[in-house]
Amino acid sequence: MTVNRLDAADRAVHDWYRFVLSFPPHLVRDYLERFELASGQTILDPFCGTGTTLVEARLHGLRAIGIEANALAHFASTVKTSWAVDPDEMVTHAEAVAALALSELAGWNGAPLRSLANEPQALLLRDSISPLPLHKALVLRDALRTAHDCRWLDHELLDHELLALAHVLVNDASNLHFGPEVGVRSVKRSDASVVEAWLETVCRMADDVRQLPQAMPPATVHHADARNMGQLLRPVSIDAVFTSPPYPNEKDYTRTTRLESVVLGYVNSKAELRAMKQGLLRSNTRNVYKHDDDDAWVAAYPQVLALADEIERRRSELGKTSGFERLYARVTRLYFGGMARHLAELRPFLRPGAMLGYVVGDQASFFQVLIRTGELLADIAQSLGYEVVSIDLFRTRLATATKQQMREEVVVLRWPKRVRRTLPPAPMTRNRQSVRVSPLAPRNSPLLSS
Ligand SMILES: C[S@@+](CC[C@H](N)C(=O)[O-])C[C@H]1O[C@@H](n2cnc3c(N)ncnc32)[C@H](O)[C@@H]1O
C-alpha cells in the first residue's frame, strides 16, 4: 500500500487537494523519465482527476494538457496548475476573510445554524458533515463570496482559497473516511476549527507558491469528456500520455467528491449530478443510462463479449435478480467500449512515436469474475493500431471479497513511428455520429453565479 502514498517530499502543490483515486507523483516521474520527454514537449492526461500528472509535468518543464469530466476535480486540477498568484497577497486576503468569518461566528446569537437547501443537502452522504462544522464552512464560504463581491479578492485568489476550503471540508471538517471506498465514520466530529484550518492551508499553499519555478510552460485543463476530445486538441501535437482512467467496478466516482462539490456549488441538484455522471466513462451500474451505446465499440471483441457473458452466466447461476446486478454485464461492455472509443479518438492527436501509460487495476466486483483490465485494454489498443510495449506491475491490492491479490498495472503503449496509411477501423457496428456526445460546457466558479 505504501507505494501509493504521497511522500513528504512531494507534499508541495500535490497536497493542495487530492482524493483517494489519485496516483502518487513518483509513479508519474518514473514514466516521464522512461518516456525520455524533453522540456517543452507536451503530455496529456485525459482522465486527469486532481492533476497529479499535470503538476509533475509542469515541474519538469513540460507542457501539460488535462481533460476531466468531474467539475470539482477539473477545478482542483486548474488551480493546482495556476502558479501565477502573489503569495503575500493571498495570505493578506485570507487573514482578512478569516477575521470576517471568525467575527461572525463569535457574534452568533443562537439563531439557527447556516445549512444547505434541501435539494443539495439530499445529495450528501448521510452525516458526512455535522451541523456545526457545516455552519462554519458556510460562513467562511459566504465571507469569501462577500470579499469577491466587494472586489477585495480577485478571481485567481478566490479559486485558490476555495480549493483550500475543499481541502479543509474533507480533511478537517467532515466525518468522511476513505478506505478505499468513501464512507462515514461511526464517531462523528461534532465541532471543528474550520476557519483556522483553512487559514493554515492557505498559508501552506502560499509557501509552496513561493518555492515554485514561475517560468514554466503552461498547463491547460479542459472540463470535457475524454471519449470526445476532437475540438480540444491540435492534430499531431501530443508527445506522451500518462493517465489513470476509472476501472470497471462498483465505485461511483462522484461520491468521492460529493461533499465539496455540493458545498462549493458544483452540484446543486439530482439533474446536475446526473449530467455530470453522463460525461463519465461508464464504469459502475450507477452511471448507466438507457441510450448508452459505447458497447458498440467492442461489438467485435470476443474477449470482452465472453467476459460479459460469463458475468451474466454467473448472475443467473447465483439467482441474483436486483436491477444493479442485472446491469453488471452491460456495464462491462460499456466500460471497454468507452475506452476503445477514447483510444480511437486520441489517434489523430498523437505524434509518431508518442509513448502512453494507462494505470489500471484488475477487478472482481461483479460476482467475483476476474476482469483483467490491463490485458483487455492492451488488446483493444493493439487492434486500434497502437504498439503494446509492456504491461508493468505497479502494485497489488488485496480484494476484500475474494482475499485475492489484484494487480494494478501500467499498460505502456506506443503510437507507431510510421503510421499505416489506413488506420484499423474503430471497432464499432453503429454509425460513428450516434456515439458522439458534446463536450461539457466549461464552468466558472459557481460561487460567482449563484
Ligand atoms: C482514477 S481517477 C484519476 C486520478 C488522477 N490520476 C489523480 O492523480 O488525481 C479517474 C478520473 O477520470 C475521470 N473521468 C471519468 N470518466 C471520464 C471521462 N469520460 N472523461 C474525462 N474524465 C473522466 C473521473 O472523474 C476521475 O477523476
pLDDT tens digits for range 359-400: 999 999 899 999 999 999 999 999 999 999 999 999 998 877
Residue 182: partners with Cβ closer than 8 Å, 6 or more residues away: 20, 125, 176, 255, 256, 258
Residue that has been written with the C-alpha cell 500528472 in this structure = 53
**Cα–Cα distance, 363 to 121 (Å, whole number):** 32
**Cα–Cα distance, 63 to 41 (Å, whole number):** 6
Confidence of residue 438 (pLDDT cuts 50, 70, 90): very low
Starting at the edge strand that comes first in sequence, how are the strands of the sheet with 219-223 ordered? 219-223, 63-68, 42-45, 238-243, 350-361, 405-414, 387-398
Q: Is the pLDDT of residue 442 over 60?
A: no
Taking the alpha carbons of 247, 398, 256, 164 in that order, is the dihedral positive or negative? negative
Amino acid symbol at 344: A
Cα 48 to ligand 1 centroid, rounded to whole Å: 5
Mutational pocket test of ligand 1: of 68, 261, 345, 397, the residue with most ligand atoms within 8 Å of the beta carbon: 68
Residues near ligand 1 with C-beta < 6 Å? 21-23, 47, 49-50, 52, 67-70, 73, 225-227, 244-246, 253, 279-281
**Domains of the chain by start residue, with CATH:** 2-82+217-435 (3.40.50.150), 87-208 (no CATH)
Q: Is the pLDDT of residue 430 over 50?
A: no
Q: Is the pLDDT of residue 450 over 50?
A: no
Cα 54 to ligand 1 centroid, rounded to whole Å: 13
Mutational pocket test of ligand 1: of 10, 13, 21, the residue with most ligand atoms within 8 Å of the beta carbon: 21
- For residue range 182-204, list pLDDT tens digits in order: 999 999 999 999 999 999 999 99
Residue 2: what pLDDT? 43
- Mean of the per-residue pLDDT values for the chain? 90
Residue 448: what pLDDT? 47
Confidence of residue 426 (pLDDT cuts 50, 70, 90): low
Cα 170 to ligand 1 centroid, rounded to whole Å: 19
Cα 367 to ligand 1 centroid, rounded to whole Å: 25
Cα 94 to ligand 1 centroid, rounded to whole Å: 30
User: What DSSP state is assigned to residue 17?
Assistant: S
